[in-house]
C-alpha cells in the first residue's frame, strides 16, 4: 500500500497567512485605512516569502554537503559498499554480504557487542513492506539483535507500521543525510560523496584510465567504467572479485 499524500500545506505559509489576515484586520479597525491594512498584509507576506527562500537555500546546501544526490545515482551494490564504509567510519565493525544469496541482509554491523543486520535500498521511490519482512527474517539467521532498513528515499505507511510492530529500525533519507554529515561534516558542495565503489578496486579502464566498478546486468555481474556513459568499457568478473569487494570494508 503506497503512502497517502499529506494534503496539509506548508505550516509556515498557513501560519503567516493567518497572521497577515489578522494583522490587516487589526490595522484596518485601528486606522480605518484600507491602504494601511493592505500594506501591512503585504509586508508580512513578503517577510514570510524571504524566510521560506532562506530556509530552502539552507536545506539545499545541506543536501549538497551530504552528497545525497550522488547517492541517488548509485546502483544497489554501490550503495551497499558505501554504507559499509559509512558504518565503519561511525565506529562499527562492518561486513558487506555477498551480492547474491545473502538471506535478506546486505550488511552485518556490530558495535559495543550489539549485532545488527541491514538491508540497503537505493530507490527512486518509497520502500515497501517486503524489505521489512526480509530483514526481520534475516535477523535470526545471522544471530543479530537488531534489524534495520536504510534507503535514500522514504517508506510506505505499511512498511512503517510493520517495522514498528516488529522492532525494525528504519533509516530514511533525512536520517541518512544526518549520518553522512556526521561522517564528513566539512565536505563542501559539489564535491561528491565521500566514497564510492570506484575506490574499492585497483582495476582501471584500459580505454580512459578511470576506475572500474562492479555492476549487475541481465546476464549477471560485470566490471564497468566509472565514467559511464562517457566510456562504455566492460569486462567479465568472477566470484573472487565479488568476494574481495565484500571483505575490503571489514
96 and 185 inside one domain: yes
Strand order in the sheet with 234-236: 212-217, 220-225, 234-236
Q: Identify whether residues 54 and 141 lie together within a single domain.
A: no
CA distances from 9 to 79, 153, 193, 222 (A): 33, 21, 33, 46
* CATH number of the domain that residue 164 is part of: 3.40.1350.10
Asked if the structure places residue 2 within a domain, the reply is no
Question: Cβ distance 118 to 96 under 8 Å?
Answer: no
Instruction: Report the CATH number at residue 220.
Output: 3.30.65
- Both 77 and 48 in a single domain? no
How many structural domains comprise the chain?
Answer: 3
Could you tell me the three cell numbers for 32? Answer: 480605518
Question: CB within 8 A of 206, min separation 6: which ones?
Answer: 233
> pLDDT averaged over the chain?
75
**Mean pLDDT value of segment 27-40:** 80
The string of pLDDT tens digits covering residues 11-23 is 766 777 777 778 7
Percent of the chain clearing pLDDT 70 (strictly above): 69
User: What's the rounded Cα separation, in Å, for the pair 84 and 77?
Assistant: 11
Owning domain of residue 228: 196-250
Residue 1 lies in a domain: no
What DSSP string runs through 187-249?
PPTTS--S--GGGG---B-TTT-PBEEEEEETTEEEEEETTTTS---EEE--HHHHHHHHHHT
Residue 4 lies in a domain: no
> 113 by DSSP, 3-state: which?
coil
Contacts of 229 (CB under 8 A, 6+ apart): none
pLDDT tens digit sequence for 38-57? 887 788 777 777 777 766 66
Contact between 97 and 207 (Cβ < 8 Å): no
Long-range contacts made by residues 225-234, C-beta under 8 angstroms, separation at least 24?
A: 226/196, 226/197, 226/198, 231/205, 231/207, 233/205, 233/206, 233/207, 233/208
Instruction: With H, G, I as helix, E, B as strand and everything else as coil, classify residue 74.
Output: coil
What pLDDT, in 10s, does the model give residues 91-126?
Answer: 899 998 876 556 889 999 999 999 999 999 999 999
Same domain, 85 and 51: no
Residues 6+ apart with CB under 8 A from 235: 212, 222, 223
- Neighbouring C-alpha atoms within 13 Å toward the C-beta of 153: 15
Q: Which helix (H) or strand (E) holds 102?
A: none
Asked if pLDDT for residue 208 goes beyond 90, the answer is no
State yes or no: pLDDT of 241 exceeds 90.
no
Amino acid at each position: 500500500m503506497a503512502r497517502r499524500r499529506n494534503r496539509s500545506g506548508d505550516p509556515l505559509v498557513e501560519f503567516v497567512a493567518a497572521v497577515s489576515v489578522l494583522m490587516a484586520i487589526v490595522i484596518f479597525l485601528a486606522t480605518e485605512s484600507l491602504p494601511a491594512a493592505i500594506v501591512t498584509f503585504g509586508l508580512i507576506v513578503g517577510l514570510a516569502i524571504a524566510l521560506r527562500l532562506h530556509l530552502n537555500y539552507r536545506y539545499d546546501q545541506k543536501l549538497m554537503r551530504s552528497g545525497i544526490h550522488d547517492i541517488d545515482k548509485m546502483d544497489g551494490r554501490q550503495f551497499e559498499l558505501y554504507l559499509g564504509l559509512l558504518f565503519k567510519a561511525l565506529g562499527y565493525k562492518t561486513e558487506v554480504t555477498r551480492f547474491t544469496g545473502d538471506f535478506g541482509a546486505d550488511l552485518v554491523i556490530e558495535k559495543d557487542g550489539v549485532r545488527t543486520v541491514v538491508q540497503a535500498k537505493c530507490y527512486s521511490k518509497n520502500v515497501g513492506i517486503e524489505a521489512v519482512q526480509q530483514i526481520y527474517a534475516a535477523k535470526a539467521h545471522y544471530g543479530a539483535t537488531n534489524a534495520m532498513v536504510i534507503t535514500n528515499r522514504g517508506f510506505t505507511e505499511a512498511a512503517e507500521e510493520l517495522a514498528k510492530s516488529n522492532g525494525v529500525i528504519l533509516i530514511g533519507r533525512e536520517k541518512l543525510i544526518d549520518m553522512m554529515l556526521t561522517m564528513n561534516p566539512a565536505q563542501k558542495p559539489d564535491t561528491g560523496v565521500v566514497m564510492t565503489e570506484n575506490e574499492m578496486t585497483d582495476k582501471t579502464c584500459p580505454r580512459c584510465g578511470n576506475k572500474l566498478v562492479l555492476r549487475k546486468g541481465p546476464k549477471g555481474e560485470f566490471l564497468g567504467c566509472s565514467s559511464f556513459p562517457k566510456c562504455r568499457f566492460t569486462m567479465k568478473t568472477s566470484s573472487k572479485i565479488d568476494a574481495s569487494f565484500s571483505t575490503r570494508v571489514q
